[in-house]
Chains A and B, each alone.
Chain A
Amino acid sequence: MKYLEAIGKYFIMIYEVFRKPTKWPIMRSLILKEIDELIFGSLGIIIFISFFIGGVVTIQTALNLNSPLIPKSLIGFATRQSVILEFAPTFTSIIMAGKVGSYITSSIGTMKVTEQIDALEVMGINSVNYLVFPKIIAMLAYPFAVAIAMYVGILGGWIAGAFGGYAPSGEFVKGLQLDFIPFHVTYSFIKTIVFAFIIATIPSFHGLYMKGGALEVGKASTTSFVWTSVVIIILNYILTQLLLG
């Protein structure tokens, strides 16, 4: 019953996000600020993780292909498929659920406990639109970060393969070009946009509807990370079934 109530409240919040919009010049500056905070502020960690994940995928694939009958180009192929289909969109989204999600929950939650949200409401401002809408729009730039994650992940795989002696550079690149299906990139970006919406809205929901003080802000951040990750994992399965199944 508690979960049903929470789901209902979440959809009411989504409705509120698009009702009574904030004045455009103010909203524009909020969106730009959020793009800087949520997307550009996360690029460092995304690049770092993607690079090493790409490298690890290459090494593990190489170590599991012992047979001389299997061409080394398969290492490049496996790295490309793993990075484009799963690691870049899903793994990065889980990282973003932790980094961006907890930032969103804690910043909105702190505003809630310090009555800043009440202050917005008293002024006649739709606080949900003011706080959540810019985050949703800013997260539309998230596929850009995932595109970088794809590129850097494959680059990391190539460097690990070529310089670690697991796959010659030529073979790896040949594998990257093998049986390339452009729809896989589209599928990945479709997932990314859905995950972006989830990363912007579920943590906002946990921040807006939290009760209590500073301790509860911390708890709400943890809960929001758990639920954002759970929803991403479930939607990942559903979208994969729908788009590739």
Chain B
Amino acid sequence: MIEVENIHKSFGDTHVLKGITTRFEQGKTNLVIGQSGSGKTVFLKCLLGLFEPEQGQICYNGKYYSELSINERRDLRQEMGMVFQGSALFDSMTVEGNVMFPLDMFTKQSKAEMQERVDFVLERVNLIDAHKKFPSEISGGMKKRVAIARAIVMNPKYLFCDEPNSGLDPKTAILIDNLIQEITKEYNITTVINTHDMNSVMEIGEKIIFLKDGYKEWEGTNKEIFKTDNEAVTNFVYSSELFKKVRQMYIEERN
């Protein structure tokens, strides 16, 4: 579980995060949504420890990040998996090399044990024939799968995803969403996903927080987001005509 207590983050004169408090539970897919520039990526980077908030605390299963030593912070980071927006695969390594990298770096496993684990996670993300390919030789969807495989290879306690669906076709996007949700349940991980994708919100948003101008404007579940009267949320989520009609039908049906 991750507990966020009143965090603030600024860059120069720009106050990006303005006192966000929330809680992300274990075994759930937690979504952070909001317009571009609302502070989602900065918030995620604070959760990852890449940015340090000027004020407030982040607590990982009872451990306050600000109270950890540099080595303890690095150890904590080894319990985190991250799927970057652009996948961030190492260009000079094959798919297999990318997934094996954290094992090679942090474990004392033999080559055979590492290979077994890599084969297992690649199979888990439905990538079987791509072991020896380089990132430049595979599609965007496959890159995302490799990034997920690399993120889960060390059995992380926390999984963070920055817009895992960006640049993917709707069908692949749903597959990636489902894969993240399955992995979250299977390994009982605390998963936090930054997204713009409303399909993801509706499909896998077990907990959703909506950021606006650096504030937490709303929080709830994918069921509650249908019912909310919060204007900022409805304007954002139901910005397309299709979603507006879907919501209208839902409200009419409810009445």
Q: In the complex, A118 Cα to B89 Cα: how many Å?
A: 11
- A124 is an interface residue with CB less than 8 A from chain B: yes
Query: In the complex, which residues of chain B have a beta carbon less than 8 angstroms from the beta carbon of A119?
Result: 82, 84, 88, 90
Q: In the complex, A132 Cα to B90 Cα: how many Å?
A: 16
Identify the stretch in B98-106, B183-191, B202-210, B212-220 within 8 Å (CB) of chain A at 4 or more residues.
Answer: B98-106
Query: In the complex, which residues of chain A have a beta carbon less than 8 angstroms from the beta carbon of B49?
Result: 122
- A36 is an interface residue with CB less than 8 A from chain B: no
Q: In the complex, A20 Cα to B72 Cα: how many Å?
A: 13
List B66-113 residues whose CB lies under 8 Å from chain A. 70-71, 73-78, 80, 82, 84-86, 88-91, 101-102, 104-106
Q: Are A20 and B50 in contact, CB atoms less than 8 angstroms apart?
A: no
Q: In the complex, A22 Cα to B88 Cα: how many Å?
A: 20
Nearest-neighbour CB distance to chain B for A30, whole angstroms, equals 10
Q: Are B77 and A116 in contact, CB atoms less than 8 angstroms apart?
A: no
Query: In the complex, which residues of chain A have a beta carbon less than 8 angstroms from the beta carbon of B80?
Result: 122
Q: Are A115 and B50 in contact, CB atoms less than 8 angstroms apart?
A: no
Q: In the complex, A115 Cα to B70 Cα: how many Å?
A: 22
Q: In the complex, A115 Cα to B76 Cα: how many Å?
A: 20
List A104-150 residues whose CB lies under 8 Å from chain B. 110, 114-116, 118-119, 121-126
Give how many B residues have a beta carbon under 8 Å from the other chain's beta carbons: 27
Query: In the complex, which residues of chain A have a beta carbon less than 8 angstroms from the beta carbon of B75?
Result: 124
Q: Are A124 and B78 in contact, CB atoms less than 8 angstroms apart?
A: yes
Give how many A residues have a beta carbon under 8 Å from the other chain's beta carbons: 16
- B33 is an interface residue with CB less than 8 A from chain A: no
Q: Which residue of A lies closest to B160 (CB)?
A: A122
List B23-52 residues whose CB lies under 8 Å from chain A. 45, 48-50
Q: In the complex, A119 Cα to B101 Cα: how many Å?
A: 11
Query: In the complex, which residues of chain A have a beta carbon less than 8 angstroms from the beta carbon of B102?
Result: 123
Q: In the complex, A110 Cα to B86 Cα: how many Å?
A: 12
Q: Are B77 and A124 in contact, CB atoms less than 8 angstroms apart?
A: yes
Q: Are A122 and B105 in contact, CB atoms less than 8 angstroms apart?
A: no
Q: Are B85 and A115 in contact, CB atoms less than 8 angstroms apart?
A: yes
Given contacts A20-B74, A118-B50, contact A125 B84 (CB under 8 A): no
Q: In the complex, A26 Cα to B77 Cα: how many Å?
A: 20
User: Chain A interface secondary structure, helix, strand, loop or mixed?
Assistant: loop
Q: In the complex, A118 Cα to B80 Cα: how many Å?
A: 13
Q: Which residue of A lies closest to B147 (CB)?
A: A119
Q: In the complex, A22 Cα to B85 Cα: how many Å?
A: 26
What mask results when residues 29 to 57 of chain A are scored 1 for a CB within 8 Å of chain B, else 0? 00000000000000000000000000000
Q: In the complex, A126 Cα to B72 Cα: how many Å?
A: 13
Nearest-neighbour CB distance to chain B for A15, whole angstroms, equals 13
- A23 is an interface residue with CB less than 8 A from chain B: yes
Nearest-neighbour CB distance to chain B for A208, whole angstroms, equals 14
Nearest-neighbour CB distance to chain A for B96, whole angstroms, equals 16
Q: In the complex, A20 Cα to B77 Cα: how many Å?
A: 14
Query: In the complex, which residues of chain B have a beta carbon less than 8 angstroms from the beta carbon of A118?
Result: 45, 50, 82, 84, 88
Q: Are B105 and A121 in contact, CB atoms less than 8 angstroms apart?
A: no
Query: In the complex, which residues of chain A have a beta carbon less than 8 angstroms from the beta carbon of B106?
Result: 123-124
Q: In the complex, A207 Cα to B105 Cα: how many Å?
A: 23
Task: Name the one of B45, B73, B105 contacting A125, with C-beta atoms under 8 angstroms.
Answer: B105
Q: Are B74 and A115 in contact, CB atoms less than 8 angstroms apart?
A: no
Q: Are A115 and B77 in contact, CB atoms less than 8 angstroms apart?
A: no
Q: In the complex, A114 Cα to B88 Cα: how many Å?
A: 6
Query: In the complex, which residues of chain A have a beta carbon less than 8 angstroms from the beta carbon of B101?
Result: 123
Query: In the complex, which residues of chain B have a beta carbon less than 8 angstroms from the beta carbon of A110?
Result: 91
Given contacts A122-B48, A122-B80, A123-B77, contact A26 B105 (CB under 8 A): yes
Q: In the complex, A126 Cα to B78 Cα: how many Å?
A: 12
Q: Which residue of B lies closest to A123 (CB)?
A: B102
Task: Name the one of A22, A114, A122 contacting B77, with C-beta atoms under 8 angstroms.
Answer: A122
Some 12 contacts from A to B, beta carbons below 8 A apart, are A20-B71, A23-B104, A110-B91, A115-B84, A116-B88, A116-B91, A119-B90, A121-B77, A122-B77, A122-B80, A122-B160, A123-B105
Residues of B within 8 A of A (CB): 45, 48-50, 70-71, 73-78, 80, 82, 84-86, 88-91, 101-102, 104-106, 160
Seed contacts A116-B90, A122-B160; 10 additional CB < 8 Å A-B pairs: A20-B70, A110-B91, A114-B86, A115-B88, A118-B45, A118-B50, A118-B84, A121-B77, A123-B105, A124-B77
Question: Would you list the 4 A-B pairs with minimal beta carbon distance, nearest first?
Answer: A124-B77, A115-B88, A124-B74, A119-B88
